[in-house]
Amino acid sequence: MSSYLFLGPEAGAKADEVKRIRSELTEAYGDSLEFERFYPFEGEQGELFASLSNDSLFSDHRLILVSQLESANTTFLNDLAGYLANPSPSATLILASSETSITKKITDLIPKERIRTFYDLLEGEKSTWIRTHFRRLGLTITSDGVELLIAMTEDNTQELRTVCNQLALFWQNDSPTKPIDEEVVQTYLHHSRVEDAFTLFPHLTGGDLRKALASLHALLGSGDYQTPILLISGLLWQFRRLLSVSEGFEEGKEEYEVFSNAHVLLKPSAIRRPKDKTTYREGAKRYTSKDIRSIIIALAQADIEVKQSRSEEVPLILERLIYRIINKKGKELATASFATLL
């Protein structure tokens, strides 16, 4: 048995380390290696520990990733500590948290050499990372272009990599021999905001299934193979932000305080624009915090499905996801019969 604990806010580096471990296990156990992702939310605890403890009939080993461990309650952590004290020899467990520390009842049961903390890049490091990434893609970028990218993206390399790859595809269709400058970045950002997760989200908070599906198909019509992954990533960010808003209202806080203290995985993300406030206000009225946690699970599951499916299967996966969010408020669908309503 192997267990790992990855701490800190730098999601990109953590994702790379998970990929490395998965690759090593695939080499050792073959393509039949099972991979499962869980979250410490209500409804997943029983499935997680059953998956950890029960030997698989179809593979010799299982890799199990538990994300967002910072959301775990005391009962979950106690059960997890119980498992770590007597783990299964046929499972590798990776625990991931955006926090930089966690209870000793967990850390004391994981070898120190398998506990790593991943910090966000410093400003100077982000600049170097962006230049290096574009250089690997055969492109160059000006200082102004780098500064605008840094200002418009999240701190972690996962977000940077996604945006840089999208920008590279955008630029390679135009003038790949010229450096990417600030004007190019602005044009790309405007182009990419025509239809995206941020234009779809208000239809979800408003419960308008037909408009949500129309927005989805406009997005998919771009033909960009990365669009579904970016879409889910963007919706995850917004629903995590909505979760902080919903919890604030449920705690009886004033609206100004709720919007000012909005956050995503404990990182401040205040809501200031009147239009955004209306969107999040509607979302908090339509979905309880419990609903939103179910939606976050649904989005995470769809993310795995999209990455493992053929391109022609993706539209139906995303249609079912939108139906599950609006009509089922994140709960599992009873059947797989849902098809496009357009």
Among the three residues 191, 217, 243, which one is the final residue of a domain in this structure? Answer: 191
Statement to judge: residues 212 and 293 lie in one domain: yes
Residues across the chain: 342
Among the three residues 175, 191, 207, which one is the final residue of a domain in this structure? Answer: 191
Statement to judge: residues 179 and 204 lie in one domain: no
Whichever domain contains 109, its CATH number is 3.40.50.300
User: How many domains, in total, are found in the chain?
Assistant: 3
For the record, the structure tokens of 121 come out as: 């890049």
Strand (E) or helix (H) holding 2: strand 2-7
* 163 touches 124 (CB < 8 A): no
Q: Is residue 267 part of a domain?
A: yes
Whichever domain contains 136, its CATH number is 1.10.8.60
163-192 pLDDT per residue, tens: 888 888 878 766 667 888 877 887 776 566
* 185 touches 148 (CB < 8 A): yes
Q: Is residue 107 part of a domain?
A: yes
Statement to judge: residues 97 and 137 lie in one domain: no
* 67 touches 300 (CB < 8 A): yes
Q: List the pLDDT tens digit at each of the 342 positions of the chain.
A: 589 999 988 877 888 899 899 999 988 888 778 888 888 865 566 778 877 776 655 667 889 999 888 888 888 899 899 999 988 888 899 999 888 889 999 999 999 999 999 887 776 788 888 999 899 888 899 888 888 777 766 666 777 888 888 888 878 766 667 888 877 887 776 566 556 777 899 999 999 999 999 889 888 876 555 678 888 988 998 999 999 999 999 999 999 999 999 998 887 888 887 888 999 999 999 999 999 999 999 999 998 898 888 878 889 999 999 999 999 999 988 654 444 444
Q: Is residue 338 part of a domain?
A: no
Where do the DSSP E strands lie in 42-122? 62-66, 91-96, 115-117
Using DSSP, state whether 201 is helix, strand or coil: helix
**Which residue type sits at 141?**
I
Among the three residues 117, 141, 158, which one is the final residue of a domain in this structure? Answer: 117
Q: Is residue 287 part of a domain?
A: yes
Statement to judge: residues 324 and 201 lie in one domain: yes
The parent domain of residue 93 ranges over 2-117
Strand (E) or helix (H) holding 190: helix 182-192
Q: Is residue 291 part of a domain?
A: yes
262-308 pLDDT per residue, tens: 998 887 888 887 888 999 999 999 999 999 999 999 999 998 898 88
For the record, the structure tokens of 220 come out as: 């998919």
* 21 touches 63 (CB < 8 A): yes
Q: Is residue 137 part of a domain?
A: yes
